[in-house]
Structure 1
Amino acid sequence: MRPAGGGGLGSAFQLIIAGALALLILVSQTIFIVPAGTVAVVTTLGKVTGGQRNPGANFKVPLVQAISYFDVRTQVRPEQFSTLTKDLQVIEATATVKYAVKPVEAGRIFETIATDNSQIYARVIQPSLLKALKSVFSQYELVTIATEWNSISELVQDKVAGELSKFNYVIVQGLDLTGLQIAEEYRAAIEQKQIAEQQLLRAQTEVKIADQEAKRYEILNQSLDDQVLYKLFLDKWDGQTSVVPALPGLAGGSPSVIVNGRR
């Protein structure tokens, strides 16, 4: 036979264990950790409540509130594209855009355009990027695009940043254009144009140098007179040369020259 009251103690112990487990589950459902480099958006019955939750321990109401995470670190996404130039030539290249989600806009992003972190590029970045690429490249002919690639890359970055600033969801931190592909016949024409431009630049430089030399000699000739020439001669004379000009400025016309003689 079992001792009297033994079943009561066992039941009480089981109730304590069950209560502790329930409390542990409740706490685990109440506290959530936001990883570094992300922010969390809390929704209460499907509605965004409060601002973004920053990295660290945070609290929510179990069963009532849900959590969505957004990465706010710099993202790097390459986008292969093809578009038409001003002279209706097809080009292909890769645009690599660097961007970051604004942490304070995470709640508005969830409400208006993307409920998941993976949706941001396709719904926010990509449309503006492709629009900017087509807008910029349609303004230039193929030869100009090939020869001014770096400058056009900066124009595209400014255009993308301008497009995205209308929505104020993200910050554009950089954009690189690489891998330009064009037809071979146009590549040869571009190379010939570059060679012609280099030859023209070289010719212009040589003309400028010749003009500068001519002006320098003109100024030098204007500054030289008999007195200056005589002083230059004396500075260089070794005292033995038998041809010595007479002192300029003497009466009787032009200065005389002494040859193999003394005075």
Structure 2
Amino acid sequence: MFPEMGKKKQEAPTAAQAKGLKRAIVGGIAVVAALIIGFSGFSTVEFGHVGLYKTFGKLSDNVLNPGVHFKIPFVQSIIQVNTQVTKAETDTSASSKDLQPVSTHVVVNYSVDKAAVFNLMNNIGANYDTVIISPAIQEIVKEVTAKYAAEDLIAKRDVVSNEVHDLLTKRLARYNLVVNDINIVNFKFSDAFNASIEAKQVAQQQALKAENDLKRVQIEAQQKVAQAQAEAEALKLKKQEVTPDLIMLKQIEIQEEAIAKWDGKLPNVTGGTVPFIDVESMTK
């Protein structure tokens, strides 16, 4: 009888301990659940983004700035939208005005209008870059490319780029997207067209060389004509200066030179005209 009573006394504390342990576990779970609910009641909107409340799948037009915001746990979520400048790259195939195939690589820098984030996300969704931006770039680039000949696309790249920029800005403004900048990185043409451009450049260089050679010849000819005209003018002036007195004086000078060189003997043979010398006047 006494041993049985001892056993009962030992079982009572064990049940109490189990009950306390159970309470501790339940309390711990409650604390963890409270912590989870507490943390899930807050969300952070990152820098360079804005947020929108989503309650049971419905968006709120209340735009949240970067920072910590409260939300109803398991009921609300916060969608973040990037408002920083974002890059979109697109490859477009088109034809020029002279029907040359052209592949264009375009880079567009754009951003989302903060004030209209709700309209963009509610009407288009988070994949607006593939739904709106890329198709708009391809369509406008094709439209502008068709206005220019292939060579003009190269020579007037700035003009083409500005036209694409203006048209794309108007198109994306409908969806509250802002075009910050656009760059046409490269125009790629067919091998046949590239070969024709190279041949044309060679021909232009050769034509330029021939033109320069022709100009050089013309200049040299003009110089010769000018020189000949100057010599003729000089000769004309010299002829105008010749008078009968000057001719007589020149003859006297020639005779004096001949007398100065004469040794007093007449030549036995003469091969040409001997200047006339008056010997009698000389002896007198």
Q: TM-score range by the shorter chain?
A: 0.5 to 0.7
- Map Cα deviations across residues 132-153 of structure 1 (whole Å, 9 max, x no partner): 1111111111121121112211
Correspondence for 1:99: 110
Cα contact 2:89–2:106 (8 A) shared by 1: yes
C-alpha distance in 2 between matches for 1:160 and 1:148: 18
Correspondence for 1:155: 163
Correspondence for 1:67: 78
Residue 50 (structure 1) shift: 3.7
Among 27, 43, 49, which residue is 1:32 paired with? 43
Which structure: larger Rg?
Answer: 2
Correspondence for 1:22: 33
C-alpha distance in 1 between matches for 2:20 and 2:61: 47
Correspondence for 1:210: none
C-alpha distance in 2 between matches for 1:95 and 1:195: 32
C-alpha distance in 2 between matches for 1:93 and 1:194: 26
SS at match of 2:84: coil
Cα contact 2:120–2:175 (8 A) shared by 1: no
Cα contact 1:51–1:104 (8 A) shared by 2: no
Asked if 1:167 is matched to 2:178, the reply is no
* Aligned amino acid, residue 194 of structure 2: R
* Aligned amino acid, residue 171 of structure 2: E
* Comparing 178-187 and 31-40, the one that deviates more: 178-187
Among 98, 113, 119, which residue is 1:108 paired with? 119
Gaps in structure 1 of 5+ consecutive residues: 204-263
Higher helix share: 2
1:1-263 aligned within 5 A:
1=10, 3=13, 6=17, 9-114=20-125, 116=126, 119-168=127-176, 170-187=177-194, 189-190=196-197, 192=200
- Map Cα deviations across residues 120-141 of structure 1 (whole Å, 9 max, x no partner): 2101211211121111111111
C-alpha distance in 2 between matches for 1:159 and 1:184: 30
Task: Report the TM-score, using the length of structure 2 for normalisation.
Answer: 0.61
Change (3 A) 1:181 1:20: same
C-alpha distance in 2 between matches for 1:165 and 1:65: 30
* Comparing 179-188 and 130-139, the one that deviates more: 179-188
Residue 79 (structure 1) shift: 0.8
Task: Report the TM-score, using the length of structure 1 for normalisation.
Answer: 0.66
- Map Cα deviations across residues 33-62 of structure 1 (whole Å, 9 max, x no partner): 112222222111111124222221111111
Change (3 A) 1:7 1:21: same
Identical columns (%): 22
Change (3 A) 1:22 1:194: farther
SS at match of 1:104: helix
Cα contact 2:92–2:142 (8 A) shared by 1: no
* Aligned amino acid, residue 149 of structure 1: R
Count, aligned residues: 198
Change (3 A) 1:7 1:90: same
Change (3 A) 1:27 1:144: same
Change (3 A) 1:184 1:15: closer
Gaps in structure 2 of 5+ consecutive residues: 1-9, 213-284
- Map Cα deviations across residues 166-216 of structure 1 (whole Å, 9 max, x no partner): 222x111111112211134433554637986996xx99xxxxxxxxxxxxx
